[in-house]
Amino acid sequence: MMNYLRTNMSLVIKTIEMHAGGGGVRIVQSGYPKIIGDTLHDKLQYAQKNLDHLRKMLTHEPRGSNRLHGIVQVEHDNPEADMAILFLYTEGYSNFCGHATIGLGRYAVDHGIVRRVSPETAIKIQCPTGLVTAHVEYENGRAGAVRFECVPAFVYATDLMINMVDYGDIKYDISVGGSFYIYTNIKQFGLDLVTSSAADIKATAHKMMKAVGDTITMTHPVDDQPAVIGGVYFFSGPLASLPDTINEICIFFETVCRSPCGSGSCGLLALLHHKGLIKEGDVRRFVNSKTQSVFSGRVVKQVKVKDTPAVIPEISGKAYYTGECTFFCEQDDPQPSFLIK
């Protein structure tokens, strides 16, 4: 680094860059201040209050974009966990991200954060949404494919109808796979997963999220806290006739997912199981209709979330390294981060 820059740096953060199914993953290696708190929830609140400028620096332009999720490792307070993390993205701090978990699984094994075991290494990851177990293939000194068992996924409501301007009556379901998602057939909107533009699909998803949000007040069954729709998961055709390979695209807040959306696919597995369309162990392939990237998933077992029937979903995929970065911010930079929507 040039000498005159060294004297003008407010901070330097180093990261490893990856992607899983096309979804960007930015893992902080060094430079992030210690995140204080007795519990992961406390640490999340501390980061929101005291370190949000760093989240923006890493996920907003000119260094980031809404196409990636950042990961910051913190000390875990769950005695079962091997590690704990916070997920960063352009809009804030997400409870969970499936493609980022796939990237983190490979990274943790490759970098010796956990004891490596062949042919598969298990990692228990404490996330804001709960404890997630990742299983990472490990052979010949190299980590491979990752499968993770998510927190319980459950159906919130099914066979709902809403009348939308320009579209008429739209049928949809709400299911939860770490976040609350709307599940709906994109053909109802006169759109196509492949030929319609990502911009049109995103705009339609936002209209749907607003319409549903204005109509339904939701609470999470665990803590009765208010819940919001995190995204819209579009598929093509009637739910009952979806094939083993499901073409999809998910809009998560401002993001058009580049991967087949791990958390969204967890919710879909719960929905398919709830409707009797799959049973435990049945494998489904999820294909992002824009990138053609593939994850696979299955229902591992049935559980309950309080009194609500739920399932443990498992998602499998691969992650790849794309680079390593050293990010810095000069003290007199008038635009350390910005976000254009």
Q: Which residues are catalytic?
A: 97
Burial class for 157, CB neighbours closer than 10 Å (0-12, 13-18, 19+)? exposed
Helices (H), the chain: 3-6, 40-50, 52-59, 98-110, 198-215, 262-274
User: Which one, of 188, 193, 280, lies nearest residue 238 by Cα?
Assistant: 188
What sign results for the dihedral spanned by CA atoms 169, 234, 89, 57?
A: negative
How many angstroms from the chain centroid is the CA of residue 274? Answer: 22
User: Which one, of 250, 318, 325, lies nearest residue 289 by Cα?
Assistant: 250
DSSP codes joined into one string, 152-194: PBEEEEEEEEEEETTTEEEEEEEEESSSEEEEEEGGGGT--TT
Owner of token pair 């998933």: 297
How many angstroms from the chain centroid is the CA of residue 267? Answer: 12
Q: Which two tokens stand for residue 44?
A: 């999340």
Q: How far apart are CA 66 and CA 142, in angstroms?
A: 30
Angle at CA of residue 264, ends 207 and 149, nearest 5°: 165
Under the phi-then-psi rule, with left for phi > 0, alpha for psi from -120 to 50, and beta for the rest, what region is 167? alpha
